[in-house]
Amino acid sequence: MGSIYKGSLISLSLFGESHGDAIGIVIDGMPHGIEIDNDFIASEMERRRSKNINLSTARQEKDAPKILSGVLNNKLTGMPLAVIIENENKRSNDYNNLIDTPRPSHSDYVASIRYGNCNDISGGGHFSGRLTAPIVFAGALAKIVLKSKFNIDVVGHIKQVYDIKDNYPNDTLPNYTEFVKNYEKPLSVFDDKSLSLMINKIEEAKKNNDSVGGIIRLIAFNMPKGLGDPFFSSIESKVASALFSIPAVKGVDFGLGFDFTNHYGSECNDCLALENDNIITKTNHNGGINGGISNGMPIIVNVVIKPTPSIAKAQNTLNIKSKKEEILEIKGRHDPSIVVRALPVLEAMLAVTILDICMEMKGRIL
């Protein structure tokens, strides 16, 4: 099943349904002896949960993660860490009509084919975006280990919402501190003018019972050189596989990404140079990766999030029982844009993947 992340040395085992008793994750393979920062974990969970409440889902849950194992005296024991988040809002009848009239572009229809009538439709069941909460927990832990053992920082920002771009100067990547400071804004966008436009766009979509998507840029700072391998274990392969695990992600590219097609080789090759006796590249069009291996520059990944398919606006769909077309009006809670909440989730998956790559290179006993 899809719910096991099998890294080379780290595994995640995700479970739960949106409206079941609890959701959670088992994190296997973390190194031992690292002190965990509970405030940091809480703040990461908070970034995904309650932020921009007007801009995103109306469901309010405490999302307090309860650690069942793997921690002793606030340190990672190296044993599997299981964490659960209890659901307060249980199964309702909001979703009953979705069994026969699946939401367009949602998992409802394919899930009914794949899993038959046992599929738990409430709130999307296991397909729910709520399942990303335990992923953020795992990512927070990965960030703590990355910082503590490798000095690596994983951050991100919203690069675009609908057609509105974050207008920070492309040539000079903001540094780690600026990224973190940026998290305090309602949307993690550098340019304040773009920020207001984006908020307006999301509110407009909400008002219209519609939704918008966007693009997120993720960065890993201080990546050591020479990690990774070519071909099937390229850093790009591993990172993309992890990021495409997140619902609503429909595209991933690195460095210039799809924009590489608009350049000649001579324009976009990254020339080596010396900086403080350290070999760097003058530009970073390749997003820190050549031949699947890190070159020491920041890892740069862009991820597109499609507009939430669950919209309140009336839509055509097929009643798959009667085989008649019907108008569907989806009740329940809707997110005008999950780009806002996707940011910490995507950072989490990048952090877990980078940690797995580091551990594969340096071993379990760090």
Q: Which of residues 65-94 bind a copy of itself (CB under 8 A)?
A: 66-70, 72-73, 75-82, 84
| 332 binding a copy of itself? (CB under 8 A) | no
| Whole-angstrom Cα Rg for the chain | 21
| 158 binding a copy of itself? (CB under 8 A) | no
| 318 binding a copy of itself? (CB under 8 A) | yes
Structure tokens at 34: 């690292």
Amino acid at 327: I
CB of 195 to a copy of itself, least distance (A): 17
User: CB-wise, 115 or 180, nearer to a copy of itself?
Assistant: 115
* Contact yes or no for 75/36 (Cβ under 8 A): yes
* Contact yes or no for 140/41 (Cβ under 8 A): yes
β-sheet bridge partners, residue 304: 215, 251
In Å, how far are 5, 232, 246, 285 from 165, measured between CA atoms?
32, 33, 22, 19
How far is 325 from 54, CA to CA, in rounded Å?
A: 33
User: CB-wise, 53 or 72, nearer to a copy of itself?
Assistant: 72
How far is 6 from 348, CA to CA, in rounded Å?
A: 15
CB of 4 to a copy of itself, least distance (A): 5
Task: Please identify, among the stretches 55-63, 92-100, 121-129, 191-199, the one whose residues bind a copy of itself according to the rule CB under 8 A.
Answer: 121-129
CB of 359 to a copy of itself, least distance (A): 7
CB of 182 to a copy of itself, least distance (A): 20
User: CB-wise, 43 or 96, nearer to a copy of itself?
Assistant: 96
How far is 221 from 298, CA to CA, in rounded Å?
A: 5
CB of 342 to a copy of itself, least distance (A): 12
In Å, how far are 200, 254, 354 from 234, measured between CA atoms?
39, 12, 12
* Contact yes or no for 245/5 (Cβ under 8 A): yes
How far is 195 from 186, CA to CA, in rounded Å?
A: 8
> Which residue in 187, 205, 348, 355 binds a copy of itself (CB under 8 A)?
205
Total residue count of the chain as it appears in this document: 366
| Binding residues among 167-196 for a copy of itself as defined by CB under 8 A | none
Strand extents, DSSP E, 64-196 = 66-67, 71-72, 75-76, 81-86, 153-161, 164-165
β-sheet bridge partners, residue 72: 75
CB atoms within 10 A of CB 14: 21
By three-state DSSP, how is residue 172 classified? coil
Task: Please identify, among the stretches 51-59, 139-147, 180-188, 240-248, the one whose residues bind a copy of itself according to the rule CB under 8 A.
Answer: 240-248
CB of 248 to a copy of itself, least distance (A): 9
CB of 114 to a copy of itself, least distance (A): 4
> Which residue in 213, 298, 299, 345 binds a copy of itself (CB under 8 A)?
213
| 220 binding a copy of itself? (CB under 8 A) | no
CB of 273 to a copy of itself, least distance (A): 6
> Which residue in 166, 236, 347, 356 binds a copy of itself (CB under 8 A)?
236
CB of 123 to a copy of itself, least distance (A): 13
| 330 binding a copy of itself? (CB under 8 A) | no
| 268 binding a copy of itself? (CB under 8 A) | yes
Amino acid at 313: K
| 99 binding a copy of itself? (CB under 8 A) | no
- Write the binding mask 4 to 33 for a copy of itself: x where contact by CB under 8 A, - elsewhere: xxx-xx-xxxxxxx--xxxxx-x-xxx-xx
CB atoms within 10 A of CB 306: 17
* Contact yes or no for 117/166 (Cβ under 8 A): no
User: CB-wise, 146 or 161, nearer to a copy of itself?
Assistant: 161
> Which residue in 142, 202, 223, 256 binds a copy of itself (CB under 8 A)?
256
| 306 binding a copy of itself? (CB under 8 A) | yes
